[in-house]
Every structure is written in structure tokens, then in C-alpha cells.
Amino acid sequence: MAKTRELLKDTRNKIVDLHQAGKTECPIGKQLGVKKSTVGAIIRKWKKYKNTDNLPQSGAPHKISPRGIKKITRMVSKNPRTTGGDLVNDLQRAGTKVTKATISNTLRRQGLKSCSARRVPLLKPVLVQAHLKFAREHLDDPEEDWENVIWSDETKIKLFGKNSTRRVWRRKKAELHPKNTIPTVKHGGTRTTDPCKEKNGAMYRQILSENLPSARALKMKRGWVFQHDNDPKHTARVTKEWLRKKYFKVLEWSSQSPDLNPIENLWKELKVCVAQRQPQNITALEEICTEEWAKIPATVCENLVKTFDLCHCQPRVYNKVLR
């Protein structure tokens, strides 16, 4: 049955006024265009409560007591990575049997939602200071300066499998609170074989030699700047010397700053597109990566650079600059 339209408060008040004036239900209904049964219900409500407003509905009682709600809210606030299963088991031991859906709905009413944990660089105190220094030095740089930077980056795209996702209970706009993030490091170990380092460095310099001259094709302004991170092959003495001899100006870059590089957003888009095509071997993976990279419009890259904002990349660090 379709739900009837609720009467306006003015109409309900007129019904009461006409009733007090001595009119009966049927004439009131005809005068106001309201069903007789509706008029009668409003008059009865007024007689009982001296009010025609809608009364609060009790609804079904909550399965979790107020004490239980405080308990699970305190648990996830202390440890956001607590799972729904852990909370179900904890309440069950206390004599309350509920489902994960009930837990989720209860915490949502408390302003807490289960979200994928953000992966952010692991920042030691010395890196935090380096990031602050970088932010202070470039905070007031005009937009045109960032448009005159040749950005570079590297990433790894897997053939099969996805990185595991960790979930956390958090409030809105709290995704970058340290409790709600997963610290990451750039590489899991250190290579100690000199020939391997030199080989990688030589390959890197070859890549630069083949691609950096494209600055002219990109119509970069005079005095353009090259950006790369602090990977060992980038900071090697021979690489620095090679860049100096080529008169390439290099942007000083903070360690563990992937969130600053606009290309990170392109990597995410590329990986999603590649995963959708489901390559079955390395050759197909390489071909698909090349094809999907070429499909990304140049305007996307331009917009990423235009919206480059130091104070929105790592709020837990760079917002301190504004204090």
C-alpha cells in the first residue's frame, strides 16, 4: 500500500480550530478536502496530547546496549584495525550475540566507518624535518614554476595478484591520522653488490640521455628543472656528474616523498586500466602497459601539475608550515 501524504501543520491546526468552533468531522473534512478518518485521528490526538505534531516512534530496540556501544567505540578508537569479527566475539563473551552488520551499523551511527587504510611513507623524525624544510622553501612558488618541471618516477606493475588491503575504523577526514595508515618504505632491503649498482646507474643514465632532450619537444620554457627522487642510482656521484656536464638543473627532493609526485596519480590510473584487461603473460603485460599509458590524455597530466599543492600532499607534515 502506498504511503499517504502527510498533512501540513497548518491544515492540522485548522482541523483543531474548526473542531473547537463546534464543527463535526464530516463537514471539516469536506471543507478542507481531507478524509473523515484523518480528521478524526487528528482530533483524537489533539484531545489526548494537546498537540498535533508527529510523535517520536520507538522502533525496534538496539541489540547492543549503550554500555556495549561505548565499549566497541573505545576499542576501535584505540585500535582502528580491530576487525568486525573481533568485536562480534568480544560482545558474545559479554553475553550479547550480534552480527558483523549490526556492529557496522552501530559504529556508523557513532561516526565510524570501515575504510581501506591509506598507505603513506614511513617518516622518521629526520625525514619530517627535511619535508618541512622543502615545504617552507617552495610553499610560495608560483604555479608556473611547477609547470616548468620535468617529473620522473618508476613503479612496479604485477602480472598476477593484488596487494592485500587492510581496513580501519575511522571518522570522516581522518584518513591520514597515523593510527589509520599503513607505513611503507621504498625498498625492502639494501643491495651491496657494486657491479649491480653500477649497471643500474649506467642504464639510468642511458634512459636520461635518450629522453631528457625531449624537453624541447615538450616546449618547456628556458630554465626547466628535472625532478627525480633519491634512489641510489639517481644520487650516485657519476650520475650527478653526468647531469652537471649536461647543464641539467635538478630539483632538490626530500626522501620518502612519493605523495608529492604528480605521477603517482598516473600510476594508479594505469594499474587500474591494466588490471581490467587481465594480461596473461609478461609480453602482454608490457604491451598493455604501453597502450594504456599512451591513452592517458595530456590534459590529465597538465591538471595534476596545476593542482600540485604542498599542503594537501601530506597534511600531517606540511600543514605545520602554515602554523
How far apart CA 187 and CA 302 sit, in angstroms, is 29
Dihedral (C-alpha) 90, 91, 92, 98: value to the nearest 10 degrees? Answer: -130
Mean pLDDT lowest among 12-26, 186-200, 226-240, 251-265: 186-200
CA proximity to 152, closest of 263, 3, 47: 263
Q: Which residues, in sequence order, are CB contacts of 227 under 8 Å at separation 6+?
A: 149, 150, 151, 152, 250, 251, 253, 261
CA proximity to 106, closest of 177, 169, 176: 169
Average pLDDT of span 105-114: 90
The string over 146-171, giving b where at least 16 C-beta atoms fall within 10 Å of a residue's C-beta and e elsewhere, is beebbbbeeeeeeeeeeeeeeebbbe
pLDDT 10s digits, 1-19:
445 567 888 888 999 999 9
Whole-number percent of the chain with pLDDT over 90: 20
Average pLDDT of span 290-319: 71
Residue 323 grid cell:
602554523
* pLDDT confidence of residue 50: 84
> How far is Cα of residue 272 from the mean position of the Cα atoms in its chain?
16
Kindly tell me if the per-residue pLDDT of 259 is higher than 90: no
pLDDT 10s digits, 177-203:
878 877 765 544 333 333 344 458 888
How far apart CA 293 and CA 308 sit, in angstroms, is 21
pLDDT 10s digits, 144-163:
788 888 888 888 888 765 54
How far apart CA 184 and CA 177 sit, in angstroms, is 15
User: Which is higher by pLDDT, 234 or 53?
Assistant: 234
User: Integer distance in angstroms from the first to the last C-alpha of the chain?
Assistant: 59
Residues forming a β-bridge with 250: 226
pTM, two decimals, is: 0.52
Q: Which residues, in sequence order, are CB contacts of 77 under 8 Å at separation 6+?
A: 112, 169
> What are the DSSP calls for 115-129, one per residue?
EEPEEEE---HHHHH
8 A C-beta contact, residue 248 and residue 212: yes
* pLDDT confidence of residue 28: 92
SS3 226: strand
How far apart CA 60 and CA 49 sit, in angstroms, is 23
Q: Which residues, in sequence order, are CB contacts of 47 under 8 Å at separation 6+?
A: none
Identify the H or E element spanning 49. helix 36-49
Average pLDDT of span 284-313: 81
Mean pLDDT lowest among 214-218, 241-245, 283-287: 214-218
DSSP annotation of 62 reads P
pLDDT band of residue 320 (cuts 50, 70, 90) is: very low
Helix, strand, coil shares, percent, the chain, to 5: 55, 5, 40
SS3 167: strand
pLDDT band of residue 266 (cuts 50, 70, 90) is: confident
